[in-house]
Amino acid sequence: PRADRTVRVASLDMGGESTFSLDAVNTDHDQRWANYVRGMASVMQEAGYTLAGVDALIHTTVPVSAGLSSSAALEMAAGRMFEAVAGLAIDPVQLAVFGQRAENNFVGVNCGILDQYTSAVGQAGSALLLDARTITSQNVPLTPDIRVVICDTRTKRELAGSEYGRRRAQCEEGACALTAFYPAITHVRDVSLAQFETHAGELDADVARRCRFIVEENARVAAFATALSAGDRSAMRDLCAASFAGARDLYAITSCEMQVMLAAMLAAPGCIAARQAGAGFGGCMAAFVEAGSETAFAAQVTPAYQAATGIEPHIYPVVASAGAGRVE
């Protein structure tokens, strides 16, 4: 903590330092990573919280620019830091809302709340089935005999930001067009597959493909939650395969490296199911593997992917953990 209203943050991983006053929070055009911290300070103060100055050092083990929500993790860590220094108590869901608002309004990324919510509200040993409309979730227990392994293609995701915005705009266009037939809907999620099929031909072809993916993917998400909690490996594999196919053929967010990685993952020992993670266009993939097979899985995926692409992947066995909090 500091006696004044200055915030000074440095990053071990990104390098550099950023200093700003809580009385005039502006954008840092040089140390762009610091804008996630600045954005949290800005929106928390706009919400009426009185913050205090602080000197902070940031270190992360979350891979950056890999589709693993490193920006949301930084936002939630910054929020908890400001909370602790000022002696506040902020609900995790509210913190997630602040993070999304910071990214939308301060950083300038038109993201949803998924990343911030999972970083703030995560539960040890569980996945979260999130309803972004109500900002509520259900815990989906992970059976102890199934583990999650992240496989980083280590390819840049330059298109992820711009194309994410384009996909979102196309879905909004589709929802708007469908209100002519179903006035009560506000989002593509409100349309059943049968309703969509009836009027898909009246939409722009690309818009129809994007909307079809969302309608089908939402149904797959609900089905996957059931399969995951039950340990139904066959259903998990089929649902993940359909998800990747839709991401490739309808939503058009996959890359050659992602397809190579998928094949390597599915052929590796212990792999139950695999699919894309994040916004696509490279970045990371996620595999569900039998407990105890993580080392053998990685040992086969690494050379297979590297032989096909010339890129050495990074592979991370991960566990579901609690959301952002203080370590005493």
pLDDT digits (tens, 9 = 90+) for 235-262: 999 999 999 999 999 999 999 999 999 9
Question: Which residues lie below 8 Å from residue 111, measured CB to CB, with a gap of 6+?
Answer: 100, 103, 104, 164
- The pLDDT-based confidence of 68 (bands split at 50, 70, 90) is confident
Report the CATH architecture of 6-108.
Answer: 2-Layer Sandwich (3.30)
For every residue of 255-307, DSSP letters joined together read: -HHHHHHHHHHHHSTTEEEEEE-TTSSSSEEEEEEETT-HHHHHHHHHHHHHH
pLDDT of residue 57: 98
Give the model's pLDDT for residue 324.
Answer: 97
Q: Write the pLDDT tens digit of every residue in 261-288.
A: 999 999 999 999 999 998 899 999 999 9
Residues 139-318, CATH architecture: 2-Layer Sandwich (3.30)
Catalytic residue set:
115
Q: What is the dihedral of CA 81, 85, 89, 91, to 10 degrees?
A: -10
Residues whose CB is less than 8 angstroms from the CB of residue 172 and which lie 6 or more positions away in sequence, other chains included: none
Is the pLDDT reported for residue 301 higher than 70?
yes
Q: What is the pLDDT of residues 187-200, one digit of tens each?
A: 999 999 999 999 99
- Let me know: does 75 contact 29? Beta carbons within 8 Å: no
Residues 217 and 196: their CA atoms lie apart, in Å, by: 13
Torsion sign over Cα 220, 223, 229, 231? negative
CA distance 24 to 26: 6
Give the pLDDT score at 328.
82
Residue 155 has pLDDT above 70, yes or no: yes
Please state the pTM of the whole predicted model. 0.93
Compute the distance between CA of residue 64 and CA of residue 49 in angstroms, rounded to an integer.
29
* Domain positions in the chain: 6-108, 139-318
User: What's the pLDDT score for residue 159?
Assistant: 61
pLDDT, average across residues 41-65: 96
**Would the pLDDT of 169 be above 90?**
yes
Model pLDDT, residue 64: 85
- In this predicted model, what pLDDT tens digit does every residue of 99-112 receive, in sequence order? 999 999 999 988 89
Give dist(CA 317, CA 148) in Å, integer: 6
The predicted structure's pLDDT at residue 196: 98
What are the DSSP calls for 61-94, one per residue?
-SPTTSSS-HHHHHHHHHHHHHHHHHT----HHH
Please report which confidence band the pLDDT of residue 21 belongs to, taking 50, 70 and 90 as the band edges: very high
β 54-58/6-11 pair status = parallel
Q: For residue 303, name the pLDDT band (cuts at 50, 70, 90).
A: very high
Q: pLDDT higher for 27 or 69? A: 27
Residue 63 in this model has a pLDDT that exceeds 90: no
9: pLDDT strictly greater than 90: yes
Look at 25-29, 222-226, 275-279, 312-316 and tell me which has the smallest mean pLDDT: 275-279
When pLDDT is averaged across residues 309-323 and rounded to a whole number, the result is 97
What pLDDT score does 160 carry? Answer: 61
Q: Compute and round to an integer the Cα radius of gyration of the chain.
A: 21
Q: How far, in Å, CA of 127 to CA of 312, rounded?
A: 29
If you average pLDDT over every residue of the chain, what do you get? 96
**Is the confidence at residue 146, as pLDDT, over 70?**
yes
Q: Mean per-residue pLDDT for 218-246?
A: 98
